[in-house]
Amino acid sequence: MTNAALELAGHATDDALAVSGQVCRPLSLSLDDLRAFESIVAAPFDLRCFKTKRFVRGVGGYRGARLTDVIGAAGLLNESPTDFKRTVFMAVAHDGYAVTFSWHELFNTPVGERVLIAYECDGQPLGAEEGAPILFSGSDRHSAPRHVKRLARIVARVLVP
């Protein structure tokens, strides 16, 4: 998302989480805006790296908004009736680190119920210094790859074969 587009989306700040791409309403969400969504809580877990298969560190219980609710607030465009079946979401951090989710995974499997954007850990608010907002997929076998610190953007893309 360009800076101009961010401004159109509302109270733009460098720290805001942008929801952009093929959505009806591009959003710019602060940590406080995320708090306005219904929250879910994740159990404490071990951060495990996929590449090394190693334990990285223990992480406490996150509270955050569901990614599916945030995407729902932006709304998918669905220019053709089957677009949603070919839609993927890229979660991009401020450092350029990026991971994907498919529409099916989020809305058509139990995985989506446990993907949150955390602003709190063990009851303590998380700031940018602690990596907030942190995207976390609670059903993953190796939790580190989709534990995205300093989440900057969710981008919806309809793939074309």
Ligand X SMILES: Nc1nc2c(c(=O)[nH]1)N[C@H]1C(S)=C(S)[C@@H](COP(=O)(O)O)O[C@H]1N2
Return the CA Rg of the chain.
15
Phi (first) and psi of residue 143, to 5 degrees: -80, -20
Residues in touch with Mo ion (CB under 5 A): 49, 51, 144
Distance of CA 9 to the CA centre of its chain: 18
CB of 131 to ligand X, least distance (A): 7
Could you write out the DSSP letters of every residue in 58-75? EE--EEEEEHHHHHHHH-
CB of 8 to Mo ion, least distance (A): 36
Residue (of 98, 107, 45) closest to 71 by Cα position: 107
3-state secondary structure of 86: helix
Distance of CA 76 to the CA centre of its chain: 15
- Residue 93 partner contact from Mo ion, ligand X, none using kind-dependent CB cut-offs of 5 to 8 Å: ligand X
Residues in touch with ligand X (CB under 6 A): 47, 49, 56-57, 93, 95, 97, 144-145, 147-150
CB of 35 to ligand X, least distance (A): 21
- Residue 150 partner contact from Mo ion, ligand X, none using kind-dependent CB cut-offs of 5 to 8 Å: ligand X
- Residue 148 partner contact from ligand X, Mo ion, none using kind-dependent CB cut-offs of 5 to 8 Å: ligand X
- Residue 37 partner contact from ligand X, Mo ion, none using kind-dependent CB cut-offs of 5 to 8 Å: none
CB of 146 to Mo ion, least distance (A): 11
